[in-house]
Structure 1
Amino acid sequence: MLPPQRPSKPMNYSELWTIDDVSNYLGVPKQTIYSWRHTGYGPKGFRVGKHLRWRSAVVIAWTLGLEKDE
């Protein structure tokens, strides 16, 4: 498995993230995120037309919640 890539631009934490952004941030393959979405696990995303998007704050809050559960 390849290491996660750094985003090419600094991320603004109020922006919407693509599947690539979420994948890079979490360090998991895109397919893992699609699988999580199918099972109801992972940060809550939504569709903008045919495109999946995630609020960066939601993804970050989800990871913080995982840390609290440890």
Structure 2
Amino acid sequence: MHSEIQMVFGAAQTARRLGLSQSTLAKMRLYGNGPAYSKLGRRVVYRPSDLEAWITANRFQSTSEYSDDQSGGMS
């Protein structure tokens, strides 16, 4: 089976693309509420498809919808 290697972004580039600080992105990795990532040795990398999936999964229509979703997973 042929697998295609995808382009990846480093943590700094990903943080810039998402408008987050690198520190916030690191905390998201720690708590598991950020985009999926891979480790290549010591390097953290993100696939564009995983970033797109995370953005899509965190899409809301209203602030009340966001609040309901957040309170449900934190108990």
2:8 equivalent among 16, 22, 26:
16
**Identity within the alignment, %:** 20
Q: Distance in 1 between matches of 2:22 and 2:44?
A: 12
Q: How much has 1:25 moved relative to structure 2? A: 1.2
Q: Which has more radius of gyration?
A: 2
Q: What corresponds to 1:8 in structure 2?
A: none
Please list every run of 5 or more consecutive structure 2 residues that lacks an aligned counterpart in the other structure. 1-5, 62-75
Please identify which structure carries the higher helix content.
2
**1:60 matches 2:49:** no
Q: Distance in 2 between matches of 1:38 and 1:61?
A: 19
Per the normalisation by structure 2, the TM-score is 0.68
Q: For each residue in 1:10-59, what CA deviation from the matched residue of structure 2 results, as whole angstroms up to 9, or x when unmatched?
A: xxxx4101001210111010000000100011101110011001111101
**1 or 2 for the larger relative contact order (CA 8 Å, sep ≥6)?**
1
Aligned to 1:33: 25
Unaligned runs of 5+ in 1: 1-13
- Please give the TM-score of this superposition, normalised by the length of structure 1: 0.72
Alpha-carbon distance in structure 2 between the residues aligned to 1:25 and 1:65: 17
Match of 1:5 in 2: none
Count of aligned positions = 56
